[in-house]
Chain A
Amino acid sequence: DAKTTQPPSMDCAEGRAANLPCNHSTISGNEYVYWYRQIHSQGPQYIIHGLKNNETNEMASLIITEDRKSSTLILPHATLRDTAVYYCIVRAQHNFNKFYFGSGTKLNVKP
């Protein structure tokens, strides 16, 4: 599975958009990009996933570059409850093994 690189931390003002980048330059054609987050003392929470098209759901938008070597998770109007560690994961869809979360990005949403 492809390795991902994320900044260790980011700050965002409450109410503004939070844009979290992820590099995955070794991604293979059958690998999806997944985003999860983990709020302190809770289990991880699925956010969104995509293959090559941009995706949007009630929580966030996922923008994947045309060459698929990087992606950005967008939280359109960040709230204090969005403060969490955000993990970008690249994995073939049916590969249960190697679901490696890595260190993620700690997003601090400030009032």
Chain B
Amino acid sequence: DVKVTQSSRYLVKRTGEKVFLECVQDMDHENMFWYRQDPGLGLRLIYFSYDVKMKEKGDIPEGYSVSREKKERFSLILESASTNQTSMYLCASTIAGTPYEQYFGPGTRLTVT
């Protein structure tokens, strides 16, 4: 079974703090993704990576950065957290060549106060 794990299920941070969200997958997948999910807005892609050290912007990259130093790990960074970044953050991975079958982690519910 593919496992995608995220560092925290719940996180509370203050405005202006630097926030790191980590995602690890154990199936040697090439592609990894970060989404945020908000009521009424569905799932929106923040960044994705198709290889180590490679990254591409998604629909809403502003206020976020990412890091992929190892194939199994993809980190999402909020340089200076703001209240409008309060959301559910979901990480996903896929094998190259099968982009449709994304495996998702359990999500991190981030609250910025």
Contact = CB atoms under 8 A, between A and B. Distances in A.
User: Are A and B genuine complex partners?
Assistant: yes
Contacts, number: 59
A43 B90 contact: yes
Contact of B101 (A41, A46, A96, A100): A46
A87 B37 CA distance: 13
A94 interface: yes
Contacts of B59: 97-98
Q: Is the interface of A mostly helix, strand, loop or mixed?
A: loop
B102 A102 contact: no
Contacts of A68: none
A25 interface: no
A100 B35 CA distance: 10
Q: Is the interface of B mostly helix, strand, loop or mixed?
A: strand
A97 B100 contact: no
Given A43-B4, A44-B104, A96 B99 contact: yes
27 contacts: A41-B106, A41-B107, A42-B106, A43-B4, A43-B90, A43-B104, A43-B105, A43-B107, A44-B43, A44-B90, A44-B104, A46-B100, A46-B101, A91-B100, A93-B99, A93-B100, A94-B99, A96-B48, A96-B50, A97-B59, A98-B59, A99-B33, A99-B43, A99-B45, A101-B37, A101-B43, A103-B42
Interface of A: 32, 34, 36, 41-46, 49, 87, 91, 93-94, 96-104
Q: Give the 6 A-B CB pairs with smallest separation, nearest first.
A: A43-B104, A101-B43, A101-B42, A46-B101, A102-B42, A49-B100
